[in-house]
Amino acid sequence: MLYGTALSSRLLLGTAQYPSPAILAEAISAAGAEVITVSLRREGPGGGAFRELIRASGCRILPNTAGCHSVKESVTTAHMARELFGTNWIKLEVIGHADTLQPDVFGLVEAARILAADGFAVFPYTTEDLIAGERLLAAGCEVLMPWGAPIGSGQGLRNREGLRAMRAAFPGVPLVIDAGLGAPSQAAEAMEMGYDAVLLNTAVAKAADPVAMARAFALAVEAGRAAHLAGLMPPRDMARPSTPVFGMAELA
């Protein structure tokens, strides 16, 4: 449940960098995605055709403020996106570091507060910092989207303990891993931790076969969620035989 909207798919998919519009449409279908992210910077010549493609997908559109480095730029882009796409949902990015694309959590909280007060449903791209998470919730966010690793890096979950701590700290808040996933196994791991969904783009768009990779991520997310609900066995320092030794024959 995201901002009162029930979704059956826990895989959110980005729409940039695909080889062709046709492959993008097939990947969205293969992923079973119900929410797709769109950057306002995709608009321009041919932008109308792109909007028609994503609307034809039947998915909920989640515009983002990708590439914005200040509160003013992010807020302005969000307002333009709401007017263009007709939705109050916004994936909020306020980038603080040009190389790592790490979020500026100070600017992020300020922008989130402004947009939430203006009626936006804010999906903040943040770090696994617990204080930042608390401030974002206080600013009006109902969802937190911590990064797994830098955008487009494919490094997976670099700070597993931090992400586990965030899950434990906010048990009733929808948490979505956003950015850095490069393999379906990494998405499954995030879901096994108890995260509610994952959002990714590059790992699918840049795959040799984006459609097959989208399907692979969909299966991984489903498997990870099922494993979390089933209850994973805790790790042990020592071996434990799967066959009990009690009652075994003793040979003289």
What residues are labeled active site? 91
Task: Confirm whether residue 154 is marked as ligand binding.
Answer: no
Task: Confirm whether residue 187 is marked as ligand binding.
Answer: no
Task: Confirm whether residue 64 is marked as ligand binding.
Answer: no
Task: Confirm whether residue 87 is marked as ligand binding.
Answer: no
Task: Answer yes or no: are the C-beta atoms of 128 and 165 closer than 8 Å.
Answer: yes
Residue positions forming the annotated binding site: 152, 179-180, 201-202
List residues forming the annotated binding site for 1-deoxy-D-xylulose 5-phosphate: 152, 179-180, 201-202
